[in-house]
A and B are shown apart, each in its own frame.
Chain A
Amino acid sequence: MSPRWEDWWYRLALERGYLDAVLQECLVHPLQRLFRRCDAWERGWTDWLSGGASRESDQAPPGVEILEDLR
């Protein structure tokens, strides 16, 4: 076997046939993109329905005063 093929087989074995990478690229990332798009649509819909910014947690302040209360 030529050294080039040896390297190729070595990498393939080391990465377990690139199964993780294939699953990430072909399954996980497309699904994440789809659901993020759906989330954006939902945000638009609730913003319109509420008549304002519907997700206050996006601008949530750090919990400084909360930590003071815990003392």
Chain B
Amino acid sequence: MTTLHLPWLELSLALPWLGAAWVARVRQPETVQRRSVVVLGLTLLATIAAWIDFATLHAFEAHDRWDLSARLLGPDAVVIDELSAPLLPLAALLYFLTALVTLRTKVRRFSFGWTLISEALLLATLSCRHPWGVVGLLAAGTIPPYLELRARRRLTRTYVVHMALFVALLCLGQALVSGADPTTPPALVGVGLLTAAALLRSGIVPVHCWMRDLFEHATFGTALLFVTPMAGAYAAIRLVLPIAPDWILRSITPLSLFTAVYAAGMALVQREARRFYCSLFLSHSSLVLVGLETATPVALTGALSLWLSVGLALAGFGLTLRSLESRLGRISLDAFHGLYEHTPTLAAFFLLTGLASVGFPGTFGFIAMELLVDGVVTVAPLVGTAVVVAAALNGIAVLQAYFRLFTGTRHVTSISLRRRRREQFAVLTLALLILGGGVYPQPGVASRYHAAMHVVRSRRVLATAEPPLPSTHEPEPETNSE
């Protein structure tokens, strides 16, 4: 068993819980924010250390040094592998930056304590490979947003109905596939239920309304952190892909594809910034699912790369919108706002992250989108065409929103709306990652290719019922830097 040099994973899981206890009794919102940022920053450092440590081992998976959790919960409870290695720091980075750029206007409404707890649950989900562990943690992850909706006295029924269905589908599906031969009818029903759960959590049409509702009623930060790590895609890859036959995956591709195009079209007609963002995100997360469902090495590599690029780009895009909302309140897209003069940095970042999400050349999204389209077109040319149509509509929606928010008129205000230093740090960090991934994509793509090959191998084992191949590293696909 390969082990890390230090227990980085357990440290990154424990820190948010300790942080939540540290801020629990503090009443001063600014103190709570300061402490939370410190804890989230330390957690980010621990996950980065785990990633670097893991990369130096050249193994497919690794456990913590001393591995205390394995003695209590089993060997698959806390483990890092090629799939989760970059997802852990990505998730920690999103939480850290969201807490960091929360302005005074939002500090009182944004619950830092629950944010710490939901980060702990998310990191535990990403570190867990035991199916029932993943099910339990995904179910637990739905609770913090519900408690926030309750605390804010907002309507919760839409969220509760969808999440209750999600948890029920997960539990029932996992109960049916546990220990069963994947080719038997009950196990196939179980796979179908798990697939439905993953689609629901990803917001696939027609079970996507909970996501719009969440963005409408929860704080922007909470909604952003609940959807951008793409827990639905994670459920699909951990619980569904290893056991689902090809015909099940192919039969749900049209749904994901329809969602990608439909949500992109809906982004074009939204009149409010949060709903616009939600539509844009739905479209992109559906594209990730299209790649996962195609389940060929190139399409899977594209989907996993797109997962990272969309996570970075749309989180940055969402944080920009949130920063604007902190200054102006809910933003209407019906009128021009002319904010460029006041916040040129945020305007540039809005454009960069929006275009990166649709695969603009020079950004990490470009490589990811190319791989996805290339992988999907070889299997189904029409599906590939629809992916391009969705990306084109998303690009138009992003530019339309940019013109509405930053151009078209002169915004007159008596106070300064310029960017704060913390926002500048967040913008520079994300911009560096997005552009760095575009200029030098090979390490990221290679890592995603290894993870994709592992999934493909496990599916071949399912199809042929042969013992698994040794997990050596495959030759990597070459990508040209921009």
Q: Which residues of A are at the interface with B, using a C-beta cutoff of 8 A? A: 31-32, 34-36, 38-39, 42, 45-46, 49-52, 54-58, 60-63, 66-67, 69-71
- Which chain B positions have C-beta within 8 A of A67? 327-328, 413, 415
A70's partner among B103, B154, B269 (CB-CB below 8 A) is B103
* Closest B residue to A67 using CB positions: B415
Interface size of B in residues (CB-CB distance below 8 Å): 31
Q: Could you tell me the dominant secondary structure of chain A's interface residues?
A: helix
Q: Is the CB of A66 within 8 A of B275?
A: no
- Which chain B positions have C-beta within 8 A of A49? 157-158, 161, 209
A57's partner among B103, B275, B413, B415 (CB-CB below 8 A) is B275
Task: Apart from A31-B265, A63-B328, A70-B104, list 9 A-B contacts with CB within 8 A.
Answer: A35-B269, A42-B209, A49-B157, A51-B157, A54-B155, A54-B216, A60-B329, A63-B329, A70-B105
Bound Cα distance A49, B154 (Å): 14
Q: Is the CB of A32 within 8 A of B269?
A: yes
Q: Could you tell me the dominant secondary structure of chain B's interface residues?
A: helix
Q: Which of B333-367 contact A (CB under 8 A)?
A: none
A58 to chain B, nearest CB (A): 8
Q: Is the CB of B330 within 8 A of A70?
A: no
- Which chain A positions have C-beta within 8 A of B327? 63, 66-67, 70
Q: Is the CB of B330 within 8 A of A60?
A: yes
Q: Is the CB of B209 within 8 A of A45?
A: yes
Q: Is the CB of A55 within 8 A of B216?
A: yes
Q: List 20 A-B contacts (CB under 8 A).
A: A32-B268, A35-B269, A36-B269, A42-B209, A49-B157, A49-B209, A51-B155, A51-B157, A54-B158, A55-B216, A56-B216, A57-B274, A57-B275, A66-B105, A66-B326, A69-B103, A70-B103, A70-B105, A70-B327, A70-B417
Q: Is the CB of A56 within 8 A of B268?
A: no
Taken residue by residue from 416 to 447, chain B's Cβ proximity to chain A (1 for < 8 Å, 0 otherwise) reads as 11000000000000000000000000000000
> Contacts A66-B105, A69-B104, A70-B105: A46 and B268 contacting too (C-beta < 8 A)?
no
> Contacts A51-B155, A60-B330: A35 and B268 contacting too (C-beta < 8 A)?
yes
Q: What are the 4 tightest A-B residue pairs by CB atom distance, in nearest-first order? A: A63-B329, A60-B330, A50-B155, A69-B105
Q: Is the CB of A46 within 8 A of B158?
A: yes
Bound Cα distance A54, B159 (Å): 11
> Contacts A57-B275, A67-B415: A52 and B155 contacting too (C-beta < 8 A)?
yes
B212's partner among A42, A52, A71 (CB-CB below 8 A) is A42
- Which chain B positions have C-beta within 8 A of A54? 155, 158, 213, 216
Taken residue by residue from 190 to 232, chain B's Cβ proximity to chain A (1 for < 8 Å, 0 otherwise) reads as 0000000000000000000100110011000000000000000
- Which chain A positions have C-beta within 8 A of B217? 56
